[in-house]
Amino acid sequence: MLKLKVPKMTCGHCASTVTTAIKTVDDDANVEIDLTQQQVTIESNTDAAALSAVLVEAGYPNEPA
């Protein structure tokens, strides 16, 4: 399980964009969004660096939570 802090994720549209970005690299990923904590929890077999990178590409810099 990977937890990332995503400071620019502030609304439902952001959460949708983050989820969609993750699903582009792992369609089977389980994605949980917590907007109040600006945190995303991802259950995936995909490399953590690849998941982080796809969020950066989508405009959402992140760091380990």
Q: How far apart are CA 2 and CA 4, in angstroms?
A: 7
At 32, the amino acid letter reads: E
24-59 pLDDT, tens digit per residue, is: 999 999 999 999 999 999 999 999 999 999 999 999
CATH for the stretch 2-64: 3.30.70.100
Output phi, psi for 28, to 5 deg: -95, 5
Q: What is the pLDDT of residue 65?
A: 94
Q: Where are the domains of the chain?
A: 2-64
CB-based burial of residue 49 (10 Å sphere; 0-12 exposed, 13-18 middle, 19+ buried)? Answer: exposed
